[in-house]
């Protein structure tokens, strides 16, 4: 392996740069700098320098996902660290934050470090394993938070659950605040969610019988309850975070009401950020339900979808996170919520935000790379600045392709975008200066 790598014939894009016909010099896994065409041509004659011809494609900082599920330990029939890391590399992601809802639940520094180690040995991407807010999701115990270190565990979450007891949540937020750890909230009132569950179950049974109209009616009723569940839990968690003084990060925001709440909270000085998923900006709930399209939170109305896009355009929403949630085929038939998203994320965002909504690639790089790096205090990535790690993605923003789930590296083969044409494809991914994925 050569110490120097020249990436040339590229359009270089990050949140501050858009350089056409540019070149990037990488030394020992770090970005040395953006070069002039004259300097690049001179280096191309040096046989000691490795070369990568981008063929006019866009080179960006690799993406950072603050919300993914690799199902390891205990649920590895759905995904494991290796298959998830391969999916991340194929999607152009260099860093992924993993949720703790595994079996057993990740509730200790030791367990988090073990998953981080597994990924490090593979060398495909960096994994940052988050830890549960309450021990084992028991809803009451927060003593395990005292051992955490923000450098290793920058984020805690009860993803897939809500901490029902507000006093417990406040206590956890105060502990997180004292350690400069983000509290990432899956905002969903558990009692309203429980009321929606039998409606979903009935709808799935009707769908299996081909009774789509009746199923649609029940799913719409369930979705209304789940929207109320998200809204009410969001309002509560924002108020608790204000009292605790902690950094609260809202997972997969999906309603216009929640976006309005975030906008108001930011204006009042509360330390709040939020994420939006590609599937919530790419799809809206329809009148023709699909048994596979169930996800938490549900696909919302067209009005909600447009509100989410506007929030990303105006900066109310901070980052794109995939909520990559792989399941087996049987899981999906049984109504398990969620689907694989790492390998379609860039294409969906490029199609919906850049091509259809007028966002620049520089803005897209900010919400997919720079901003999540800032939130996670990853000071050595997210831009093309000299000295940063050479975690890079090469994309063709104009290439149209059709989603085919069987081509996924992830074990979870279901995508709601299956068979759809998207614009923008990942050509190659570099991790620490090494190619870890190439078409």
- The answer to whether the beta carbons of residues 403 and 346 sit under 8 Å apart is no
- The answer to whether the beta carbons of residues 371 and 319 sit under 8 Å apart is yes
Q: How many CB atoms lie within 10 A of CB 356?
A: 13
Question: Tokens in use for 382?
Answer: 């997210």
CA distances from 175 to 183, 240, 269 (A): 10, 13, 20
What residue has token string 């620049």?
A: 360
Selecting among 189, 318, 323, 391, the annotated active-site residue is: 323
- The answer to whether the beta carbons of residues 370 and 61 sit under 8 Å apart is yes
Q: Mutual orientation of helices 302-314 and 256-267 as an angle, nearest 10°?
A: 30
What residue has token string 């609260």?
A: 248
- The answer to whether the beta carbons of residues 17 and 34 sit under 8 Å apart is yes
Q: Is the dihedral of CA 146, 151, 153, 157 positive or negative?
A: positive
Which secondary-structure segment (H or E) carries 190?
A: helix 190-208
CA atoms within 13 A on the CB side of 318: 22
| Residue 323 annotated in active site | yes
Nearest to 427 by CA among 153, 166, 57, 127: 57
Nearest to 343 by CA among 324, 356, 364, 327: 324
CA distance 119 to 125: 7
Q: How many CB atoms lie within 10 A of CB 62?
A: 28
**Angle ∠(272,234,192) on CA atoms, nearest 5:** 160
**Angle ∠(88,92,97) on CA atoms, nearest 5:** 45
Question: Tokens in use for 250?
Answer: 């809202």
Nearest to 87 by CA among 424, 407, 430: 407
CA distances from 163 to 51, 157, 233 (A): 51, 10, 10
Question: What are the catalytic residues?
Answer: 323
């Amino acid at each position: 392996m050569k110490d120097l790598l020249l990436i040339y014939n590229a359009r270089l894009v990050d949140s501050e740069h858009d350089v056409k016909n540019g070149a990037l010099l990488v030394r020992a896994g770090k970005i040395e700098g953006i070069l002039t065409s004259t300097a690049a041509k001179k280096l191309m004659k040096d046989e000691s320098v490795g070369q990568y011809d981008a063929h006019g494609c866009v080179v960006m900082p690799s993406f950072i996902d603050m919300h993914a599920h690799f199902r390891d330990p205990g649920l590895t029939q759905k995904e494991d660290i290796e298959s998830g890391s391969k999916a991340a590399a194929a999607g152009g992601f260099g860093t992924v934050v993993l949720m703790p809802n595994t079996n057993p639940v990740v509730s200790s520094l030791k367990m988090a470090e073990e998953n981080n180690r597994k990924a490090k040995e593979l060398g495909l991407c960096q994994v940052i394993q988050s830890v549960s807010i309450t021990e084992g999701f028991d809803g009451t115990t927060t003593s395990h938070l005292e051992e955490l270190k923000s450098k290793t565990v920058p984020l805690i979450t009860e993803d897939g659950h809500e901490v029902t007891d507000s006093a417990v949540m406040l206590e956890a937020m105060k502990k997180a605040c004292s350690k400069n750890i983000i509290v990432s909230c899956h905002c969903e009132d558990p009692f309203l969610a429980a009321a929606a569950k039998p409606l979903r179950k009935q709808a799935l049974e009707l769908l299996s019988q081909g009774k789509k109209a009746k199923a649609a009616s029940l799913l719409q009723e369930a979705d209304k309850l789940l929207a109320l569940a998200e809204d009410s839990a969001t309002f509560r968690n924002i108020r608790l975070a204000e009292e605790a003084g902690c950094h609260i990060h809202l997972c997969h925001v999906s309603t216009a009401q929640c976006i309005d709440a975030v906008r108001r909270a930011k204006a009042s000085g509360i330390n709040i950020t939020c994420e939006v998923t590609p599937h919530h900006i790419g799809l809206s709930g329809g009148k023709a339900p699909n048994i596979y399209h169930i996800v938490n939170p549900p696909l919302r109305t067209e009005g909600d979808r447009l509100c989410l896009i506007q929030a990303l355009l105006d900066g109310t929403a901070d980052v794109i996170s995939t909520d990559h949630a792989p399941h087996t085929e049987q899981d999906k038939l049984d109504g398990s919520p969620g689907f694989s998203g790492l390998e379609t994320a860039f294409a969906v965002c490029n199609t919906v935000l850049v091509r259809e909504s007028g966002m620049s690639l520089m803005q897209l790089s900010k919400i997919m790379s720079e901003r999540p790096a800032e939130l996670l205090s990853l000071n050595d990535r997210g831009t093309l600045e000299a000295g940063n790690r050479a975690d890079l993605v090469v994309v063709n923003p104009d290439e149209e392709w059709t989603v085919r789930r069987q081509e996924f590296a992830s074990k979870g083969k279901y995508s709601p975008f299956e068979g759809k044409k998207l614009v923008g494809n990942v050509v190659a991914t570099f991790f620490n200066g090494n190619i870890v994925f190439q078409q």
